Chains A and B, each alone.
Chain A
Amino acid sequence: MVGLSLGEKHFIQGGIDQNLRSDGRKRDAYRPISIETGVIPQANGSARIRIGATEVIASVKAELGRPNALQPDKGKVAIFVDCSPVAEPMFEGRGGEELSTELSVALQRCLMGGKSGAGAGIDLSSLIVAEGKICWDLYIDGLVISSDGNLLDALGAAIKAALSNTGIPRVQVAAGASGDEQPEVDISDEEFLQFDTSGVPVIVTLTKVGRHYIVDATSEEESQMSSAVSVSISRKGHICGLSKRGSAGLDPSVISDMISVARHISEQLINKLDSEISAAEADEDEM
């Protein structure tokens, strides 16, 4: 994707070695982050996040559906990511599909927790309306508008912001429906319930270049990576998911070290995002 000459590659690698990256950042520093919520009024919740030149939109739509027969007490959540050719001509046609799938799967893994629902950022049981009959289906869509590295972290943060922007209509279930009958529902268009997002983890990707790892890599830096580990971490400091990219193998002790570094960084990131999200919400209310 990004073609770099040998001299530039060495410059980037050398900068990471000396803890002074091409744009002057230290290894553990993020680019400026800005968040805007409510960008898609037709959705139940939405947000746009910009990290440097990377820009993504996330939207949350809630629809009533039937719970899965195997898990009658839970709602359903689906996460999809699309890479718009607007961001990169390479994503034209089916060109973005591979990356989209990779990002979707990684987000799913990072946000949805284990099969039993433990560690999930979204509490599926809170989505149930009538057990075994009606539940909310949450569709979370990410769209990459401009890409300059660190897409996964940006998408994770955008989804977190979109979820805190999400209002789910209050639903009244008519009593009396019995047996297999689908009960009547009354969806309120005035009363909305705020979604609880305190449990939604953040994703921190550590990109390993040479002997060191960096956060928030630009696409130029990503082209120099040997491998990258994306860790999703909850506010409590628990690991909620992890995936590794890049071909090079890693020593297990390095992985442990990366996880603890990621945990440390996640604390700052969570605080940063929280303040940005509440500022964005305040801005939106003003309008």
Chain B
Amino acid sequence: MANKKVSKKDIASLLEQWRQQFAVFAPSRESGVAAFAEWDGKDVSFLDWYRNTVVPPKASFLPPMEEMFRFEKGTEGYNIKPRPEEENKRLLFGVRPCDARAIAIVDMTFKDAYQDPYYLSKRNNTLLVGLSCTNPCESCFCTSMGTGPAESADVDLMLVDIGDEFLIEEVTDKGKELTRDLKEATEEDEAKAEQSKKAAYDRVTRKLNTEGIKDRLLASFDDQGFWEKTAAKCISCGICTLLCPTCYCFDISDEMVKQEGTRFRSWDSCGFPNYTKMPMENPRQEKWRRVRQKVCHKYEFYPMTFDVVACTGCGRCVRLCPVNWDITQVIESVPDKTGVNK
């Protein structure tokens, strides 16, 4: 498929054109932190300062809090009022390849066996327009996790920075419709794109060797000493899980005011002690068990179930952790006991 191109000057008009059919979300710093917000129609300054959002785009499909359904206690009993379906079409502009890959990974869980209506209704109504990274963070290690600063596998469109223009790779049909009346990209643009991708690829300095990690983790699953040392400085807060693009755990809670109530779904974290708390006992009360679960779910259990490592190297957990607990150091330090039969 021939790629298209658009100059950085015309991005605003392109977004405006899309705004006629979609609710367009783009990165913004208005709220004091980099996040996706409804595009205000003119600000494209994010093209300069934007590296990645703090809250990952998964929040558009699995929001920090959402109403599942409401209910009323009438005289003749309860009456459950499900929420109306999400119809408004949305477009997320500026999704980084690591987050797009993460969305594809989370999709697997919400589509597997039982279909999750809340997540999928939003997911199927949203187009993802990727933006290649030109300035990866020191904490990013996407190139070691099977994706990269310009990987376009999981988005509808991928914009690759080639100087004062963007080369647009159309990945899906829905993406194609968006760029119908844009200019074709020339050979020379393609070459510039390749060169820009290569440059960005090399700027990712943090590396992680995940070869054989699944078996290493299975072998040292019961090595309490190792996990206690790894978890020593962790303060069990929720930053590295709630803000991780491949984490999807949620909590369900009810609230009732007089005769009307609501059931909510909200983010939850396996790092919290009450996550698995049962009245009689809590199988993961100790901190080292919870840290082990966090690491093993992503690098051992998910690969065992869906044959993909549930981490795309976005680096959020490394740069946002209050105590600089670094997943790449932990993975490298997992002892190799696979040789010794357990």
A binds B: no
Q: Which B residues form the contact surface with A (CB < 8 A)?
A: none
